[in-house]
Structure 1
Amino acid sequence: MFVTPAYAQAAATGGAGSAIASFLPLILIFGIMYFLMIRPQQKKMKEHRALVEGLRRGDQVVTQGGIVGKVVKVQEDGMIEVEIAENVKVKVVKATITTVLNKTEAATA
């Protein structure tokens, strides 16, 4: 019925170690999520940005909508002109380009 002073003192100690132990699973989950989800997505975004920045006239591209065409004009405002058939040109946002099928070589001067 009565608690001895030794038991009462033992229960009060050990607070700092348990706090770190309670945060350890949360830290491990964040680390696993970073390496399995966040890092690969950032790498993919970096590759897509490089692909879009490397577009030039004459490249054959595929848009997100599945349209295949040839780049006719690259504009600085984030748009490109794509020829999808003879004398049929469509303006497309650069970011919607998913794949470059045939890459043209850089002009040597």
Structure 2
Amino acid sequence: MYLLTLAFAQSQTPGAAPAGGANFLVLFPMYLLIFLVFYFFLIRPQQKREQEKQSMISQLKKNDEVITSGGIHGTVVNVKEKTLVLRVDDNVKMEVEQSAVAVLKKAR
């Protein structure tokens, strides 16, 4: 019984106009502000990091020391179109994707 009374109390009177337009005008700037905060604090820095990583990968050359995303330390022996050949130890070479390079330790 209480819920029914509460429902009638919250309903609009029959002659009143809906107030949906005013709510939108109040909420729109808030949503815009939230989007701008997400853009400047999350999306834009991620794009900058990705651009810096792509730049670093494109500048890799022979004898650069790198660390892969899997934690493998190696020296670049050969740079191919999409892959790198790394010397991990004496007489041990691995071919990895260029995108697997996480850190450029030392450029020579």
TM-score by length of 1: 0.78
User: Unpaired segments of 5 or more residues in structure 1?
Assistant: 1-7, 105-109
Q: Does 1:35 align with 2:40?
A: yes
- For 1:3, the equivalent position in structure 2 comes to none
Q: Does 1:56 align with 2:51?
A: no
Q: Does 1:96 align with 2:96?
A: no
Among 7, 20, 24, the residue aligned to 2:25 = 20
Q: Does 1:82 align with 2:61?
A: no
- State the shift of 1:15 in Å: 6.3
Shift of the 84–13 alpha-carbon distance from structure 1 to 2, 3 Å rule, reads: closer
How many matched pairs?
Answer: 94
- For 2:9, the equivalent position in structure 1 comes to none
Q: Which amino acid aligns with 1:32?
A: V
Q: Deviations over 1:52-106 (max 9, x none)?
A: 0010011010001111110000001x100000001110001000101111101xx
Separation (CA, whole Å) in 1 of partners of 2:52 and 2:77: 23
Would you identify which runs of 4 or more consecutive aligned residues in structure 1 move more than 6 Å?
none
Separation (CA, whole Å) in 2 of partners of 1:73 and 1:47: 22
